[in-house]
A and B are shown apart, each in its own frame.
Chain A
């Protein structure tokens, strides 16, 4: 292979860098498969946008979960708490700004919604700070205790939410300019769903930018692969993990606000109810992969909406079936992270 007299290795042809786009193709594949089944094009459009919006929201929520797991093998079974808390805080903020929300002007609506989102993210991030230090840090490396204690954290957190806001469900109507649908020919697409899709894409783009263009992002990508080596290079990965956890919590809070607006009602159980869905998404995507999480979330959103329309009885089943099928194809998820 190599000439034995050379002091420099013989030049090798530059290998082709293969970008793995196959999983990405699953999305249009599923969408197109559903088209003939739904019968009418306009219904398909509505469902597809609903699925994309839901998928984007789930992505926003699950992205933090998958990175945290990839970095430190910590699975927060109480992630749902951040979702619920975000929704409730935003509801309180919006509740005090009813004038802005009811106004037909989009700008005034946004003046209520955007601060609500930001405040929700901030508060949930702070709760995440406390959660990581008090609940998670003491049980690093002990998976059983982690499962139990994060669940305990969620139980206590949800009960506290009930103490503060009451145990009944609270409506969260969409602001005036965002509610209602746009008509594309026959197809009605809810305005909110378009906005949610755009926000989701933005969040994804920002995440990709941070991961590929900043040193912190580099550290995260490296840490997911080989934690020990990152430490050996001189970085305090505990601190990095702390930051990622808080960011993940804040994102979950944002997702909670958006999820609450998607369903137009919030309950103390709303976070816990989608726990299963979150796990399905991160398993499908590959634990620790943001790209995989994105595709996984969109797949789950689309499948949930298509089957919700075509065969409502098997809706939850369909996502588990999807997970099983994906794992049969790629047992480590769509974009597995190569660990040392």
Chain B
């Protein structure tokens, strides 16, 4: 019963999916202890952050049917908000709050503008314009170097309690120090879980259901009496705000931000791949997609290196499986996903044997 309310009635509806989600949850939760080393924790933190980002993208693309290239812009706004605040005001919680607040306000204003604009033009036109806007923003970030640190970005400090300077205990658990860095990780983890559950709540509320109705048949939704303009704008704004918060988490974790880190087109492409492969319009797809993608990004290369070395005699095949070409295979998976599995892995799993609900 409690579980139902926690997940807003939107249960995984598939045994395999539930297992995957549970495994992912505990995997992430226990990463510092199960997989020792900075890299693993970094990957886990990145997964948490991207789950939020991808979920916010799913909200606007999968649930509302709006394609905006400007989504990474909000990610960047959140990250830069924190970065600039902590750089200029010092590593305090107050600065963090100010940075976050400012970022959210800017994101609200911009997303409102963009959201309202999207409703007056066709999808293609809107996509092109948001691409231009996102490009301009990225250029802006790298050009206003006095403000943003330019192409080099900003390095800054976070409140001490979130760094390895502060230690909570002399003991270590499985060789892992109980220090501020660990706290920081769990902060990011907890925030990600919270934000995800909130988004789950939103898409399963009456608001969310209307969104889906609009996505399916806008004409009919209007006919029934829903002001689609209002709903779509709300959805755009909400998704932008969540993306901004994901950016905040990113900056706090990395203690660095630059144009490439949060604004690059590459991130946009990665988002797209994650949301499609995971499953559009499912929320849980963001968990599956983000985990799969980021694990692949960091560890698949090792696997591919093995394959590549094994094929070293045939140079073309070797190049095809070269670890740097992991994007090729994900890209193919993505194309196949768009065609045949718009609901991605999650959709496919749900089609199999649905769990007793």
Binding site for B on A (CB under 8 A): 69, 73, 75, 77, 135, 138-139, 143-149, 151-153, 155-156, 159-160, 162-164, 167, 272, 275-276, 279-280, 283, 287, 313-314, 316-317, 320, 323
Contact = CB atoms under 8 A, between A and B. Distances in A.
Contact of A320 (B136, B276, B328, B338): B136
B125 A283 contact: yes
15 contacts: A69-B124, A75-B124, A75-B127, A143-B67, A143-B124, A144-B123, A147-B67, A148-B67, A148-B276, A155-B327, A159-B327, A163-B316, A167-B324, A275-B131, A283-B125
Interface string B121-162: 011110111011101100110010000000000000000000
B353 interface: no
Dominant secondary structure at the B interface: helix
Nearest to B122: A143
B339 A149 contact: yes
B345 to A, nearest CB: 16
Given A276-B131, A276-B135, A317-B136, A135 B123 contact: no
Nearest to A278: B128
Given A143-B123, A280-B132, A283-B128, A156 B331 contact: yes
A242 B122 CA distance: 23
A151 B143 CA distance: 27
A163 B269 CA distance: 19
Dominant secondary structure at the A interface: helix
Contacts of A164: 319
B328 A156 contact: yes
Contact of A135 (B127, B322, B328, B335): B335
B241 to A, nearest CB: 22
A272 to B, nearest CB: 7
A148 B195 CA distance: 26
Given A144-B65, A148-B272, A163 B140 contact: no
A176 to B, nearest CB: 33
Contacts of A135: 335
B319 A163 contact: yes
Nearest to B268: A151
A286 B100 CA distance: 40
B322 A163 contact: yes
A27 to B, nearest CB: 22
Contacts of B135: 276, 316, 320
B325 interface: yes
Q: How large is the interface on B (under 10, 10 to 19, 20 to 34, 35 or more residues)?
A: 35 or more
B332 interface: yes
Contacts of B338: 139, 145, 148-149, 152
Nearest to A280: B132
B335 A152 contact: yes
A283 B122 CA distance: 13
Contacts of A149: 335, 338-339
A75 to B, nearest CB: 5
B233 to A, nearest CB: 18
Contacts of A144: 61, 65, 67, 123
A86 B125 CA distance: 27
Nearest to B322: A163
A279 B269 contact: no
B332 A279 contact: no
Contacts of A162: 324-325
A153 B124 contact: no
B320 interface: yes
Given A160-B328, A163-B320, A283-B125, 16 more contacts: A75-B124, A75-B127, A135-B335, A139-B338, A143-B67, A145-B338, A145-B342, A147-B127, A149-B338, A151-B269, A153-B335, A155-B269, A155-B328, A159-B331, A163-B316, A283-B128
Residue of A272, A276, A283 most packed against chain B (CB within 10 A): A276
A147 B276 CA distance: 13
Contacts of B75: none
Nearest to B321: A163
Contacts of B139: 316-317
User: Which 5 A-B residue pairings sit nearest by Cβ, starting from the closest?
Assistant: A159-B328, A155-B331, A156-B331, A143-B123, A279-B128
Interface in B85-142: 122-125, 127-129, 131-133, 135-136, 139-140
